[in-house]
Amino acid sequence: MNITTLIINLIAVIALIIAFIKDKKKSKQALKVALMSFIKMLPMLIIIVIIIGLILGFLPPETISKAIGAQSGILGVVFTGLFGALMHIPAILAFPLSASLLEKGASITIVATFIITLTMVGMITLPLEIKELGKKFAILRNAFSFIIAIIIALIMGAIL
């Protein structure tokens, strides 16, 4: 375990202790809600871990690097952006996937594109957005979010 992980976990434990000291009943209720959320997310987490394992197990790092590495160019960025926009997974699950992709040869630009489009663009939730916000606004919001996500990722890639 690295020092950052240790510090984050220590802060979480201290915050939990403080919460229990301040209000034991609310703290127990919050932990129950967190546990139920985790249980609801668990099947998706298991499926994603299996899919990632299969992909990383069957595709050699050279193939991954060629498809989504630095040499994939703007086409790789757009493809990854579309993939991120279509995914409907909690962002917290995207980080381990992104770390695995980086280890296998994906570029920072590609990983940034994936995470940013995953969180900013909602193709799966578009029908709900259209219903609640109107068709024009929902489509423009998603289109601009996609474009901005690509620009941000390209800038991050250029800087890093």
d(CA 135, CA 118): 21
pLDDT at 1: 60
d(CA 92, CA 55): 19
Q: What is the pLDDT of residues 131-157, one digit of tens each?
A: 999 999 999 999 999 999 999 988 888
Token pair for 10: 């220590």
Instruction: Kindly report whether the global pTM for this prediction surpasses the value 0.75.
Output: no
Question: In the chain, what are the domain boundaries?
Answer: 1-58, 60-160
Token pair for 32: 């129950």
d(CA 28, CA 21): 11
CA dist list (Å): 56 to 87, 96, 156: 18, 13, 25
Q: What is the pLDDT of residues 69-83, one digit of tens each?
A: 777 788 888 888 988
Q: What is the pLDDT of residues 60-70, one digit of tens each?
A: 777 777 777 77
d(CA 17, CA 21): 6
